[in-house]
Structure formats: C-alpha cells, structure tokens
C-alpha cells in the first residue's frame, strides 16, 4: 500500500467514526420510552394497554395482524390461481418450481408421517405452515395501527398473541383427534386423549418462541447502546429463523401425531394353547441342543 492510499484509508475511517459519533449524539433520547422496561414487556405479552377496536369489539393487535395476514395470503393465492396455475408447464419455471416445492414438501410430510390417511392432513399442514411462516415474517413489515387509547401500535406477529397460539394449537389437536376418529373410531379417540398435553404444549411452545423473539427485539430497541447493528441480527435473523422453525415444528408434530393415531389397528392372531405348548417344546429342545 502506498503512502497516498494509506492516507485515503485513514481519512475514510476517521470520517465514518465521526459520522457515527454524530449519529449517536443526535439520536440520544430518540428511543427513550416513557414507561419502564417492565411495562414494555408486560404490554408486549398481555396487550392490556394497546387494544384495538374491531367493529367496536376491543381485541388484541395480534388478531388484526391475523386478519391482515390471511387477507394477504388469500389475495396472493387468488392471483396465483388466476394468472399462474393455468400456465403451468410440465417442465416448470422458477416460480412454478417454488410453488410445487412448497406444496410437495407439506404433501410429502403428510404422506411420510401418515401413510394411511393424509389427504386432509396435507392440506392442513400446508395452510398451517404458510400461515405460521407468513405471519411470523409479518412482524418485519411493521404495519402501524391505532389503539383504542389513540396511541400508535405496530402490529405484532399474530402468533405472539396467546389467543392465536392457543387457537392454532387446539385446532391442530382437534385435527389429530378427527383423524383418529375417522380412522379408528373410539380407539382413535383413546390414542389422541393419551396425548392430552399436546394442545397445551403446542400452543405455548409457539407462543413462547414467537414472544421471546419479540421480547428480545423490544429489549434491544429499548436501550440506545444496543441499537446499532444488533437489531439487524436479532430483528431479521430471529424472525426468519422463527418463521422457518415454528412452521416446521408445528406441521411436523401435527403430522407425526396424526399418523400415529390414524394408523390402522391390526388384530394379532390369537394362538391356541396347543400351538403355544408346541412352540415352547420346540424352544426347549433347541436350547438343549445348543447346551
């Protein structure tokens, strides 16, 4: 490196450092909240202070997020159905391959985990996977809304609302129960009830995972010192990872338990006493020969 290049390099570094310091000074106090961190956390979990009016009904922002996400997904699906699917080719293009990959992945998941009965399960895990994935990524967009108190609220991920997580967890359990009943009747009910903790574990796993991401993000944004570079990692990376992991975990668990309870019961043939006696004699004689 020549002297001139070294000079240019040092000047650039100094300019960047100066700009950052100026930025830090200027932004001091910009992100300071009126309430304490405890209040912010409590609000993020319980949504007591940021209810939104849904036709006069006070609801959590997560429910509004859920409706928005559903609308977005359905509009996207309708556009794809009208403009893309009729032009599908046997040798797929990039977008067709992406769609086929998504459908094929959930269809394959359902088939591999529940070989006996999987048509409905495939559709369910596809919808659930798409919903969890998109609704988690929805957090990144940061759609603003006005709360009933007149404050601005950023719509969170629908599943970071405990009601959303409980509804999806319980619905998955009901789907598993339905699969068990259709395939095995009362035996299926018994098999499903055996896993009575499943709806709670599924609901709270999802709620906890998404909420933790949100809380970490809140925490990071709360303190000025953590507001550089780190939000990119925790905000985007956490969200993307959560989107993929949670979609996979819920669909995988649902498929797994669905397959377990819908597995057809095969009666073991009863052996007669004489046959059993003969078998025992054979075993004895084989043991004696070995000895």
Partner 1 sequence: MPLNIDWQQILLHLLNFVILFAGLWLLLYKPVRSFMQKRREHYEKMDADAEKKNAEAEEKRAAYEQKLAGAEDEIAEKRRLAEKETAEYSERMRRETDELARTIVADARKDAARIKAQATKEARAEIASIVTDAVEKIVLEDTASEAFDQFLDAADDAQAEKKDE
Q: Does 155 bind partner 1 (CB under 8 A)?
A: no
Q: Which secondary structure element, helix H or strand E, spans residue 59, and what is its range?
A: strand 57-59
Q: Does 46 bind partner 1 (CB under 8 A)?
A: yes
Alpha helices in 80-223 (DSSP H): 94-113, 119-141, 162-184, 186-194, 198-222
The two tokens of residue 30 are 């910009």
Distance CA 20, CA 15 (A): 9
Helices 238-262, 186-194: inter-axial angle, 10-degree rounding: 140
Contacts (Cβ under 8 Å, ≥6 apart) of 83: none
Closer Cβ to partner 1, 100 or 286, answer by number: 100
Site residues (CB under 8 A) for partner 1, limited to 115-154: 122-124, 126-128, 130-131
Closer Cβ to partner 1, 103 or 226, answer by number: 103
Alpha helices in 263-272 (DSSP H): none
Q: Applying CB under 8 A, which of residues 67, 95, 223, 228 lies at the interface with partner 1? A: 67
Q: Are strands 144-146 and 52-54 parallel, antiparallel or unpaired?
A: unpaired
Distance CA 74, CA 68 (A): 10
- Minimum CB separation of residue 126 from partner 1 in Å reads 5
Kindly report the number of other CB atoms within 10 A of residue 49's CB atom.
Answer: 14
Distance CA 38, CA 272 (A): 70
- Minimum CB separation of residue 96 from partner 1 in Å reads 9
String of contacts with partner 1 for each residue 195-214, x by CB under 8 A = --------------------
Closer Cβ to partner 1, 73 or 137, answer by number: 73
Q: Does 60 bind partner 1 (CB under 8 A)?
A: yes
Contacts (Cβ under 8 Å, ≥6 apart) of 147: 49, 50, 51, 52, 61, 153
Site residues (CB under 8 A) for partner 1, limited to 160-189: 161-164, 166-168, 170-171
Closer Cβ to partner 1, 131 or 191, answer by number: 131
Q: Does 249 bind partner 1 (CB under 8 A)?
A: no
Distance CA 120, CA 102 (A): 16
Q: Are 246 and 136 in contact (CB under 8 A)?
A: yes
Q: Applying CB under 8 A, which of residues 40, 44, 73, 215 lies at the interface with partner 1? A: 73
Q: Does 286 bind partner 1 (CB under 8 A)?
A: no
String of contacts with partner 1 for each residue 258-277, x by CB under 8 A = --------------------
String of contacts with partner 1 for each residue 78-107, x by CB under 8 A = x-xx---x--x-x--------xx--xx--x
How many residues bind to partner 1 according to rule CB under 8 A? 44
Q: Which residues bind partner 1 (CB under 8 A)?
A: 45-48, 54, 57, 59-60, 63, 66-67, 70, 73-74, 77-78, 80-81, 85, 88, 90, 99-100, 103-104, 107, 122-124, 126-128, 130-131, 158, 161-164, 166-168, 170-171
């Amino acid at each position: 490196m020549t002297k001139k290049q070294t000079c240019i390099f040092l000047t650039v570094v100094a300019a960047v450092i100066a700009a950052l310091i100026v930025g830090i000074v200027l932004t001091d106090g910009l992100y300071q909240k009126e309430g304490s961190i405890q209040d912010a956390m409590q609000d993020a979990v319980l949504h007591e202070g940021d209810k939104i009016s849904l036709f006069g009904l006070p609801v959590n922002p997560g429910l509004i997020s859920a409706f928005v996400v559903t609308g977005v997904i359905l509009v996207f699906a309708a556009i794809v159905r009208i403009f893309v699917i009729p032009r599908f080719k046997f040798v797929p293009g990039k977008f067709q391959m992406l769609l086929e990959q998504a459908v094929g992945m959930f269809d394959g998941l359902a088939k591999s985990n529940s070989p006996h009965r999987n048509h409905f399960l495939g559709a369910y895990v596809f919808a659930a996977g798409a919903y969890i994935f998109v609704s988690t990524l929805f957090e990144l967009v940061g759609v603003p809304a006005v709360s009933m108190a007149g404050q601005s609220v950023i719509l969170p991920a629908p599943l970071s609302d405990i009601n959303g997580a409980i509804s999806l967890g319980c619905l998955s359990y009901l789907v598993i129960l339905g699969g068990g009943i259709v395939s095995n009747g009362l035996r299926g009910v018994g098999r499903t009830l055996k896993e009575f903790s499943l709806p709670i574990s599924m609901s709270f796993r999802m709620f906890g995972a998404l909420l933790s991401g949100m809380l970490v993000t809140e925490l990071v944004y709360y303190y000025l010192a953590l507001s550089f570079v780190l939000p990119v990692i925790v905000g985007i990376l956490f969200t993307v990872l959560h989107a993929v992991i949670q979609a996979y975990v819920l669909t995988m668990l649902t498929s797994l338990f669905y397959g377990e309870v819908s597995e057809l019961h095969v009666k073991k043939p009863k052996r007669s006493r004489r046959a059993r006696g003969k078998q025992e004699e054979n075993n004895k004689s084989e043991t004696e020969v070995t000895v």
